[in-house]
Structure 1
Amino acid sequence: MPMPGLRIIRELTRVGRVYWTSRDGSAGENALGRLFVHGEDGLESAMLWLTETGLLMEYASWTKVFERVSDRCAGAGLDVFATSKMLRHSLQQLDLARVRAERDNLRTQAQLPSAM
């Protein structure tokens, strides 16, 4: 399937800057949308959340996805609902807990005498 504007990631920096190359040889940085990486089976999307066609899911689509999931839960008799914001904050809390545990581990190691 031809994909006009396809961009293949060459480098992703620690500060989130993306350097890419297109199939025609042009290069650039900070491209959003159609970013790909070379995988074991050829080109693969670099995006985590994709549509059924394999392209990046647009931001506006997320509200509807969470509405549908919440409706399905209600239809199954579950009194739960979710929003993208809830998911984002949950993931941030998990990441914060991991960072704190790692920091505490490093502090503990720094206080122990090193083995000779």
Structure 2
Amino acid sequence: MEAKQKINIIANIVGLMASLGGMAMTIILLYFNPYSHGDVSSGTVKIAYATLFAPAVFALIPLLFKKHRLMFISFLWSLPISIYLGGTPGIFKLFGVICILYLISALLFSFKTARLK
């Protein structure tokens, strides 16, 4: 297997892990939050879906349709709230890791296309 294929596989795995992790963490944040015992307001649900779940779903598009530059959009879309949640104590720091994984996947795709043509 050549280097270009290996980088592509790694970039796809990292992107898929970030996407599935982002969706799972959003569900945990909203419905199984270990730090909250009350109901989540509808506004919070809308914001979480728009800023965390939607970029995770959008990250599947570059993986499925080979439009790898779109992974940068998922990174930038989730960056502000990921920075905020990355600074909180507890398991929701993982949103910062997920955002970084979007970036790593996007950079691997870019590296593959730029360096290994």
Q: TM-score range by the shorter chain?
A: under 0.3
Bigger helix fraction: 2
Q: Which has the higher contact order (CA 8 A, sep 6+)?
A: 2
Bigger strand fraction: 1
TM-score computed with the length of structure 2 as normaliser:
0.24
Larger radius of gyration: 1
